[in-house]
Amino acid sequence: MATSLSLAPKPAAVAVAAAAIPRLVPPPSIDMSALSPPPPLVSVSRSMVAKHKAVVVMGATGTGKTRLAVDLALQFGGEVINADKLQLHRGLDVATNKATADERAGVPHHLIGVAHPDEEFTAADFRRAASRAAAAVAARGALPIIAGGSNSYIEELVDGDRRAFRDRYDCCFLWVDVQLPVLHGFVGRRVDDMCGRGMVAEIEAAFDPDRTDYSRGVWRAIGVPELDAYLRSCAAAGGEEERARLLANAIEDIKANTRRLSCRQRAKIVRLDRLWRIRRVDATEAFRRRGGAANEAWERHVAAPSIDTVRSFLHGEFTTADETTAAPVPPPPLLPMFALAAAGAGV
């Protein structure tokens, strides 16, 4: 007799099996909706977050950073944020080359003379203060323009604190450069001009014979430690001829140390240029000339191309990721050994 094989379960068997399986019913105290998977997290790229714009003007001492910053501020409705570690301190306005009211041309300037002369204002302190200042400037609808020669402070602002500043601002970097032999000649004339504007008398008024540490606060300014021996001779009522000799030596030391500083600052900017794609503006021609011809060269070679660069930046025609179109950095000239040695140190 044929046997019929069927794989389908019989109704009675199914019913018995189903009754034997316990039902998984959650306790009434558990809200099943709470156990449902959360919605997927939406990842927002940093590049998708709207950023403010900021301009950073760099350069060695004496190259005209403040002048260019003011030119740009007048053109684009900006405010200048000082990035000079000595000008942050109160006092010694001539020795630290704080911009005069005429030089500021009505442009608001921030972080000038905000620290006590003896205060140690670190790069991290500057990052926090400059970030607050930039936020306030941007909130007013103005363009923050960071300008100064303390490149270590600028580097801390831009790349410190996990690059928080870069998360908030697109930055346009401008470098006002002057060939060192030309700049060094100008620096010597500027020191003479500072003496004519009362730098020696200013430092003498602040001189404290008990002070021997010139490594903190505003007392690090070039001119203060160099004049120490001269001012002590004045306090000791030394001979007039000896005082004149000490003063002349001090002024030469001020010029030499300022030249050393310019070498260090330029070397630091060259290093940063490899990281930040800085737009270099060659101001050498403006420094070779005098009077009206110098002003004309400044407008043509420095102000006009910088304004064009910032205008393109503000209109979104390039970003900081673009290849730089600035003039190539020329090789450094042959310098005295003391300058080459000093250029290896950071600023």
- What is the tens place of the pLDDT at every residue in 198-218? 999 999 999 999 998 999 999
Across the range 92-120, mean pLDDT stands at: 97
Across the range 167-194, mean pLDDT stands at: 97
Across the range 38-49, mean pLDDT stands at: 50
Q: Is the pLDDT of residue 115 over 80?
A: yes
**Cα distance between residue 139 and residue 202, in whole Å:** 38
pLDDT band at 237 (very low <50, low <70, confident <90, very high): low
Q: Taking the model in full, what pTM does it have?
A: 0.79
In the chain, domain spans:
51-180+264-342
Neighbours of 35 (CB within 10 A): 8
pLDDT band at 258 (very low <50, low <70, confident <90, very high): very high
Q: Which residue has the higher pLDDT, 170 or 327?
A: 170
Q: What is the pLDDT of residue 317?
A: 72
Q: What is the pLDDT of residue 223?
A: 97
Neighbours of 339 (CB within 10 A): 19
Q: Which residue has the higher pLDDT, 38 or 33?
A: 38
What kind and span of H or E run contains 80?
A: strand 78-82
Q: What is the pLDDT of residue 318?
A: 62
Q: Is the pLDDT of residue 38 over 60?
A: no
As a whole-number percent, the residues of the chain with pLDDT over 90 amount to 73
Q: Is the pLDDT of residue 278 over 90?
A: yes
3-state SS assignment for residue 202: helix
Q: Is the pLDDT of residue 108 over 60?
A: yes
Torsion of CA 233, 236, 239, 241, to 10 degrees: 10
C-alpha distances (whole Å) from 287 to each of 70, 155, 339 are 18, 27, 21
Backbone angles phi, psi at 53, to 5 degrees: -105, 150
Under DSSP, the state recorded for 86 is T
Q: What is the pLDDT of residue 73?
A: 98
Q: What are the pLDDT digits (tens) for 135-170?
A: 999 999 999 999 999 999 999 999 999 999 999 999
CATH of 51-180+264-342, one of 3.90.1150.10, 2.60.120.380, 3.40.50.300, 3.30.1300.30: 3.40.50.300
